[in-house]
Amino acid sequence: MGKPMATRLLQAGLSVTVWNRTRAKAAPLATLNAHIADTPADAVRDAHVVITMLEAGAIVRDVIAQAEAALRPGTLVIDMSSTRQSEAQEFHARLAARNVNFMDAPVSGGVLGAEAGTLAIMAGGSESDFTRAEPILKLLGRPTRVGPAGCGQIAKLCNQLIVGGTLGIVAEALMLAQAGGADPAAVRTAIRGGFAESRILDVHGQRMLERNFLPGGQVKSQTKDLENVLIAAASGGVRLPLAELLTELYRTILDVVPNADQSAALIALERMNPGKRVGDGPDQLP
């Protein structure tokens, strides 16, 4: 995600310094006039705005620890990773102690959305910080402030819950069609345009029919997000029974195909129903 996002900022004429744990991944951005930093501290030393896009909260914490001494008072740190709400609130408090502002702004839309600048951006932070960040975020997609720091992560979890739940239902629908003697591909075509139409049915329904499980979003990421949904639900004092079932479904394949696309929910369902399989082609797996 980071490379296409940084590319859009560079193409808009911004002065951008980049750092990656694997330097070779950042190196191609030098052709777009990015400055390549050797350390997180070097990357943020002269920055007015810092954006992090990392795998999980623990890694965000580690990078902040490496960079924070070099952050100037008044700098705005925008974490666009997917983390727990409690982690985002922790980062906010930690940086506030240094007079550094913080927003969590996770995204949805995948690599294609990052390349096209059409990401859905769910921002948590003060109104003044959002106003300051908005012109930059609009280069990456459609930003919406959803509440104070930490609330961006709640919005992202809502997104992932809907995505994961719809993936599971589409997989069940295709299997039901197959088990009932109908052509799953024809059933998908027949119901498109009705109330069941969705981006998931369009994109991932086709992937399931083709048994194309090359990522995209990954099983391990979807499972992580669903685990965080349950943690947030417990923190908020609510029970989400469908989220519990969905998390268990993904857990069954987490050790089997962790890097497969999240549409591998179909594989999890087939493992629960031996002898039942949607489509005739071989599985395309990473």
Full 3-state SS string of the chain? CHHHHHHHHHHCCCCCEECCCCHHHHHHHHHHCCEECCCHHHHHCCCCEEEECCCCHHHHHHHHHHHHHHCCCCCEEEECCCCCHHHHHHHHHHHHCCCCEEEECCEECHHHHHHHCCEEEEEECCHHHHHHHHHHHCCCEEEEEEECCCHHHHHHHHHHHHHHHHHHHHHHHHHHHHHCCCCHHHHHHHHCCCCCCCHHHHHHHHHHHHCECCCCCEHHHHHHHHHHHHHHHHHHCCCCHHHHHHHHHHHHHHCCCCCCEHHHHHHHHHHHCCCCCCCCCCCECC
CATH superfamily label, 1-148: NAD(P)-binding Rossmann-like Domain (3.40.50.720)
pLDDT given at position 217: 83
Mean of pLDDT over the chain: 94
Averaged pLDDT for residues 58-71: 94
Averaged pLDDT for residues 4-31: 93
pLDDT at 197 over 90: yes
pLDDT given at position 1: 83
CATH 3.40.50.720 segments of the chain: 1-148
Averaged pLDDT for residues 26-40: 92
Averaged pLDDT for residues 183-193: 96
Say which CATH topology domain 154-272 has: N-(1-d-carboxylethyl)-l-norvaline Dehydrogenase; domain 2 (1.10.1040)
Of 25, 156, 220, 276, the catalytic one is 156
Per-residue pLDDT band for 55 (boundaries 50, 70, 90) equals confident
How many percent of the chain have pLDDT more than 90?
A: 90
Per-residue pLDDT band for 201 (boundaries 50, 70, 90) equals very high
156 is catalytic: yes
At 105-151, the pLDDT tens digits run 999 888 889 999 999 999 999 999 999 999 999 999 999 999 999 99
CATH 1.10.1040.10 segments of the chain: 154-272
pLDDT given at position 122: 97
